[in-house]
Chain A
Amino acid sequence: MSATTENTVHEMAAQKYKYGFTTDIAMEEFPKGLNEDIVRLISAKKSEPAWMLDWRLKAFAMWQKMEEPHWARIHHPPIDYDDLYYYAAPSAPAPKSLDEVDPSLLDMYEKLGIPLNERAALAGVAVDAVFDSVSVATTFRETLSKAGVIFCPISEAVREHPELVREYLGSVVPVADNYFAALNSAVFSDGSFVYIPKGVRCPMELSTYFRINAKNTGQFERTLIIAAEGASVSYLEGCTAPMRDENQLHAAVVELVALDEAKIKYSTVQNWYPGDADGKGGIYNFVTKRGACRGRNSKISWTQVETGSAITWKYPSCILQGDGSVGEFYSVAVTNNFQQADTGTKMIHLGKNTSSTIISKGISAGHSNNTYRGLVKIMPGASGARNFTQCDSLLIGDQCGAHTVPYIESRNMSAKVEHEATTSKIAEDQLFYCRSRGLSQEDAVGLIVNGFCKDVLKELPMEFAVEAQKLLSVSLEGSVG
């Protein structure tokens, strides 16, 4: 290949990720590397109370004794945790209202399709915008607070609502749960906090938009959502990052707590930079997400559309403790080029008559590898528990891999667990049929893939389903022919 052709190919591969631009803004970064001082600096930067600092330091001490997990079907060169920045934030003082937010940041969010200006914002969706290590704006706070809903950066919640944060933080994902969760607990910088009081149906969709911008910087956000008795909320997170040749680490923790009769719907459209067509660059997405259905008849649904990241390591799970509680996991994971995804869920049934549904759609193209890994565990007390699992894999081309690793552990005779799995290829005759009707190769793949994912996409809030459909087509561009 001539140099110019090669460049064109690179440019074309690059163009497909339209969120790959960088934003030039004065930043404050802490020195590279991780040690107790950095943990103290982060805590001080956020004016945290002593208990929070202690919590972080304990987590840091535990993390130092832990080892990076290597059981997933992913491969990457060793991560040098001392070669990363753990804190990066715009250096201007924190804005007190939207009017004070740096206009170049507002422009950036506008460009990403997330206008933060409330007049221009998507109707009915409140947004918390997290830029590198800090939350830069949260919209519709007034509207929400009238309903009694707390929606704010978690750094603010630590200061303003310590009783809630102390009660619930780390109660679902313990500090030493796993290597990345421990790391996050030590250095998390921002993220969203949501509290829906008793009996309140949150009047708007809540969403957090994560943007990694700074170079060589890890993003460690932390999200905590609590739905009190009878409360309900639908929450969506979106994420993008610039195209950079270096891999970047993203290790988030999300904890959900649903009390009696409460419902939490958590949707993710994950579009971190996946790396280029040769597998260079991209985000390492090592994320721990877990929800506790603590109360009777509570319900937690995870819906995820994962198209980005060089590596995805993520298992949004439900602990079904309350009798009659319900856990759901709907997932579409797309891998193309050299992306790797090892994702799935854990459904832990503790309470009586608990039920869970798992629908996983994996799509692999290029040289990518896509693994579904799931655990359904029925504990002795979970009489009448039910699970239905369906894992479908779709292969595009013959250089990619799809793997299904379902674990089922049932310790209660009355439980009923069903598992179905299929693997298929996009058939040549399907593509030809579509093309003979006028669809381009790419539109045909998009149509077939969206059809394959329909059962999951229909679980997304309306506004985002369309976005997700487009994203699927874009992620698979150039994967056939």
Chain B
Amino acid sequence: MLEIKNLHARIGEKEILRGVNLVVPDGEIHAIMGPNGAGKSTLSYVLSGRDGYEVTEGEAIYNGQNVLEMEPEVRAAAGIFLAFQYPVELTGVGNANFLRTALNAIRRKRGEAELDAVAFLKLARAAAKTLQMKEDFLKRNVNVGFSGGEKKRNEMLQMALLQPGLAILDETDSGLDIDALKIVAEGVNALRSPKFSALVITHYQRLLDHIVPDVVHVLAGGRIVRSGSKELALELEAHGYAGLEAA
């Protein structure tokens, strides 16, 4: 379970998160919507431990641990996974090598045996196939020369292999055509279990047709200003965010 209590965070002098309260029980998928600049990406970075964000108040507890005090790699081992809004390119680093290094680092921290190259490739090929990715994906350098959609799918491939307990998807649907969108949604749905939860950040209702959320939240002005059932997304689609900030 993820519990965020009165979370305040700033970048330099600028306060971006201004008292976020949010509870995501295990087994649930919550959507976060909200206008540009509301602080959605900031929230996902603060949860996954990026430098440059100063938490001034509040806490974020995942499975009983205060994640804000943990190094990013420790959070990853604890099961937190962020699918980046803008996945990063790693020149010269093969995708398969990157994935295996990551997976084995996490397995080591969890006290599990490392996978050898053969066992890993078998796993990776199967995951790539489910995501309808060509096999040469694994051979290419991490995100280098990938199209926007390919980068997002690569994030999903990583998620599928790392098997997180809490996935944060930051606009993973942006820039995807409808077929790719379905594939991404299937990737998330495949992970659904009583132990898995997800925060799905999106601007579009259409993703939520495929990943049906248990709760929809609206983040505006650095706070959760409304929460509701999946119908809230439809309402937002129809009327926009106007007036919500004041609420």
Contacts and interface: CB of A to CB of B under 8 A. Distances in A.
Interface of A: 427-430, 432-441, 443, 447-448, 450-455
A433 B93 contact: no
B109 interface: yes
Interface in B45-80: 48-52, 71-73, 75-77
A437 B82 CA distance: 8
B193 interface: no
Nearest to A429: B88
Given A436-B48, A437-B98, A451-B92, 9 more contacts: A428-B51, A429-B88, A432-B50, A432-B72, A434-B102, A439-B73, A443-B101, A448-B90, A450-B93
Nearest to A446: B101
Contacts of A439: 73, 101-102, 105
B199 to A, nearest CB: 14
Interface in B76-98: 76-77, 81-82, 84, 87-93, 97-98
A150 B59 CA distance: 71
A432 B51 contact: yes
Contacts of B77: 438
Given A432-B50, A436-B48, A439-B101, A447 B73 contact: no
Contacts of A430: 88-90
A438 B158 CA distance: 11
Contacts, number: 78
Interface string B117-128: 000000000000
Nearest to B89: A430
A428 B51 CA distance: 8
The 7 closest A-B pairs by CB, nearest first: A451-B92, A451-B93, A437-B102, A438-B76, A438-B106, A433-B88, A435-B72
Interface in B93-149: 93, 97-98, 101-103, 105-106, 109, 141
Among B88, B97, B106, B141: residue with most chain A CB under 10 A? B88
B162 interface: yes
A438 B90 contact: no
A433 B77 CA distance: 14
Given A433-B84, A436-B72, A439-B73, A451 B90 contact: yes
Contact of A447 (B71, B75, B82, B93): B93
A433 B76 CA distance: 11
Contact of B49 (A435, A447, A454): A435
Interface residues of B, number: 32
A113 to B, nearest CB: 22
Contacts of B48: 436
A437 B162 contact: yes
A450 B92 contact: yes
B90 A447 contact: yes
A445 to B, nearest CB: 12
Contacts of B87: 433
B90 A433 contact: yes
B171 to A, nearest CB: 16
A432 B71 CA distance: 10
Among A430, A439, A454: residue with most chain B CB under 10 A? A439
Nearest to B75: A436
Among A433, A436, A439: residue with most chain B CB under 10 A? A436
A179 B71 CA distance: 52
A462 to B, nearest CB: 15
A447 B97 CA distance: 9
Contacts of A436: 48-50, 72-73, 75-76, 81-82
A452 B76 CA distance: 25
23 contacts: A427-B88, A429-B88, A430-B88, A430-B89, A432-B72, A435-B71, A435-B72, A436-B75, A437-B102, A437-B105, A437-B158, A438-B73, A438-B76, A438-B103, A438-B106, A438-B109, A439-B105, A440-B73, A447-B90, A447-B93, A447-B97, A451-B93, A453-B92
A451 B94 CA distance: 8
B105 A438 contact: yes
B102 A438 contact: yes
A454 B89 CA distance: 15
Among B84, B105, B141, B162: residue with most chain A CB under 10 A? B105
Contacts of B106: 437-438
A435 B70 CA distance: 12
Nearest to A439: B105
B105 A440 contact: yes
